[in-house]
Structure 1
Amino acid sequence: MKIATYLPKDSRLQKYIAYYYETTLEDIDYYAYPHYNLPCSIMQHAFVNANDYSTIVSEATGAKGGVYVFNRFKKPIQIIVEGKVKEFCIVFKPYGLAQFKEEPLPIVTDKQAEVFSIFTDFFTLNPTFLKAGMDTKIDILDAYLFGKLSEKPGTEIMIKAFSILETENVSISDLAVQCCCSAKKLSRLFYKLCGESAVTFKQIVIFRKALEQLQAEHKSVSLSDIAFLQGYCDVSYFSNSFKRLTGETPGNFFKNVSSYSNQHIYFKKVKKR
């Protein structure tokens, strides 16, 4: 299965939204992995419940539906789908969701997995959204989100910070210097606009870069080479860091995980019932 992704048509939204995609999930269990981007799921006729270790999405014909976002989880979470559920996903850039909400992000918690309902008026305004074609869906979402857009102070600093993290392995103090602000201010902006600490985001960015490189080249590039390129002092430290975010060593991880998109969407199926 491959997931097709789509950009917002409104170029102004592309600053904050990485892409859209849709899929249909039916009686499936899978693991999702930490990411610096933040997916929000639009689902109708479904109930969503989360505990510390997993999230259960259950088909429910009478459910009105909603838009759901996870907290920033730092370890794999299991998604259990009971029945058949159609999902449309908005994948926000790390600082993206904050631009469409007046209240603080509800995504900093101590739990491994927690789900929040956002954009509570969406289905009231667009009750037949999931029945529309893709082109119409994008038009509807673009118009809805642009109506809520209000860029927050510090966003440009966050944009610069992530552009640096994606290309350089720097300390947080050096990152602050390059962003022309204090480490204290940078830390505050990460929590306020992205929902997690700068240190956590740095770890996830490095993990994702290593994951993508290993997925593309693991047959010809050694783990020691990948570890060195990502700034790790040795393979053991790299493997331990990788395991904290995936629950597995790099070798075992790539035996079981699959990429479902050219946007590096990775899931591991547990079973099909």
Structure 2
Amino acid sequence: MEIKTIKPSPLLEKYILFYYELELNNDTYYAYPSDCNVVCLFEDADVTYSSNEIKITKTTSSTNSFSALNKFTSPLFVNNKGIVKEFVIIFKAFGLSQFITKNYNGIPFFKIEEFDDFFNKNDTFFQKTETAKIKIIEDFLLTKLNEKKDLKIIIKSISLMDNNELTIHEIAKTCNCSYKKLYRLFLAHCGTTPSVLRKNIKFRNSIKKIKSKDSYFKISDIALDLGFYDQAFFNKMFKKLSGETPKQFLKDVSVLSKKEIYFKNIE
């Protein structure tokens, strides 16, 4: 299976990476940590979270909902019962917080209460075409957009995390702010700490490199490319976030899109 992703409009590309649609059919799989917020719209489903597991169960009542994943740091087990339509919005690390006012720091999974009015006005959303769905979503999101203060600092900090081996203190200095201020801004904009987000960015970069290699690649070379001078430490970090060694991950996990969507299906 390959997932088709759709780019947001220019009005929202600052905050959103892409959209995609799925139809779940009694699927069980693992999803992996990232630097993004994943927001899912489910049709007629009861969605619950407990101990790194999301249960998505088809219902006969009209229970459409907006559900969001915060940045998580270990594999997430998705357990689906029944046939459920899903529309997914992948927000950038700081994206979702520009549309909501409630602080969800430390909450791994939550329903977005501020979006409750969406389905009151769009009860036939899942019957629309893909193009119509995106227009409806984007029109709605634009009514909620309220960009928080100092977003430029966050965007610059994330860019430095992605492209440099600077410490968090060095990143704060480069952005002309204190470590304490940067820490507070990350909690407000990204829902997590700078160190957690950087760890997830490094993990995603390592997946990209591993999946682009053949079976003869050296883990030590990838570790060095990512600034890890101790391969054992790199392996430990990778296994904590993925549940597997890099070599096992290469064999077991499927790439479902050019946008680096990774799932491990469970038979």
Shorter-normalised TM range: over 0.9
1:136 alignment partner in structure 2: 132
1:34 and 1:76 in contact (8 A); partners too: yes
Find 1:148's aligned residue among 144, 168, 171.
Answer: 144
2:196 alignment partner in structure 1: 200
> Helix, strand or coil: the match of 2:62?
coil
Give the 5 Å matches for 1:38-187.
38-104=37-103, 106-109=104-107, 113-118=108-113, 119-187=115-183
1:30 alignment partner in structure 2: 29
Aligned-residue offset at 1:250: 0.7
- What is the rounded CA distance, in whole Å, between the counterparts of 1:116 and 1:70 in structure 2? 9
Deviations 1:27-79 (A, max 9, x none): 11100111101110001110001111311100112132110002322100100
2:47 and 2:57 in contact (8 A); partners too: yes
- What is the rounded CA distance, in whole Å, between the counterparts of 1:251 and 1:29 in structure 2? 22
Please say if 1:5 is aligned against 2:1.
no
Deviations 1:104-131 (A, max 9, x none): 2x2413xxx5333441111111111111
2:22 and 2:87 in contact (8 A); partners too: yes
1:222 alignment partner in structure 2: 218
- What is the rounded CA distance, in whole Å, between the counterparts of 1:83 and 1:107 in structure 2? 31
- What is the rounded CA distance, in whole Å, between the counterparts of 1:16 and 1:43 in structure 2? 21
> Unpaired runs of 5+ in structure 2?
none
- What is the rounded CA distance, in whole Å, between the counterparts of 2:28 and 2:16 in structure 1? 27
> Helix, strand or coil: the match of 1:260?
strand
- What is the rounded CA distance, in whole Å, between the counterparts of 1:107 and 1:173 in structure 2? 21
Aligned-residue offset at 1:177: 1.3
1:35 and 1:208 in contact (8 A); partners too: yes
- What is the rounded CA distance, in whole Å, between the counterparts of 2:169 and 2:130 in structure 1? 43
- What is the rounded CA distance, in whole Å, between the counterparts of 1:98 and 1:133 in structure 2? 28
Aligned-residue offset at 1:254: 1.5
- What is the rounded CA distance, in whole Å, between the counterparts of 1:75 and 1:222 in structure 2? 24
1:49 and 1:115 in contact (8 A); partners too: no
1:265 alignment partner in structure 2: 261
- What is the rounded CA distance, in whole Å, between the counterparts of 2:174 and 2:105 in structure 1? 27
**Superposed structure 1 runs of 4+ greater than 4 Å apart:** none
TM-score (norm 1): 0.94
- What is the rounded CA distance, in whole Å, between the counterparts of 2:235 and 2:62 in structure 1? 43
Count residues with an aligned counterpart: 266
> Helix, strand or coil: the match of 2:93?
coil
- What is the rounded CA distance, in whole Å, between the counterparts of 1:64 and 1:203 in structure 2? 35
Letter in 1 for 2:188: K
> Helix, strand or coil: the match of 2:82?
strand
- What is the rounded CA distance, in whole Å, between the counterparts of 2:199 and 2:52 in structure 1? 21
1:36 and 1:94 in contact (8 A); partners too: yes
1:47 and 1:63 in contact (8 A); partners too: no
2:231 alignment partner in structure 1: 235
Percentage of pairs with the same residue:
35
RMSD of the TM alignment (CA)?
Answer: 1.2
2:44 and 2:84 in contact (8 A); partners too: yes
Find 2:186's aligned residue among 185, 190, 194.
Answer: 190
- What is the rounded CA distance, in whole Å, between the counterparts of 1:178 and 1:26 in structure 2? 48
- What is the rounded CA distance, in whole Å, between the counterparts of 1:145 and 1:24 in structure 2? 23
> Helix, strand or coil: the match of 2:209?
helix
- What is the rounded CA distance, in whole Å, between the counterparts of 1:152 and 1:117 in structure 2? 18
